[in-house]
Amino acid sequence: MLDMLPTLPSGKVDRAALPAPASTADVRRTPPSTDAELLVADAWSGVLRGGKIWAEDDFFALGGHSIAATTVAARLTAALGLPVSVRLLFDRPVLADLAIAVEELVLADLGDA
**Domain CATH code at residue 96:** 1.10.1200.10
CA 33 – CA 39 distance, rounded (Å): 10
* Number of separate domains in the chain: 1
Instruction: Show the domain range for 102.
Output: 31-112
Q: What is the pTM of this model?
A: 0.76
Half-sphere exposure of 35 (CA within 13 A, CB side): 6
Over the stretch 43-99, which tens digit does the pLDDT of each residue have? 999 899 878 999 999 999 999 999 999 999 999 999 999 999 999 999 999 999 999
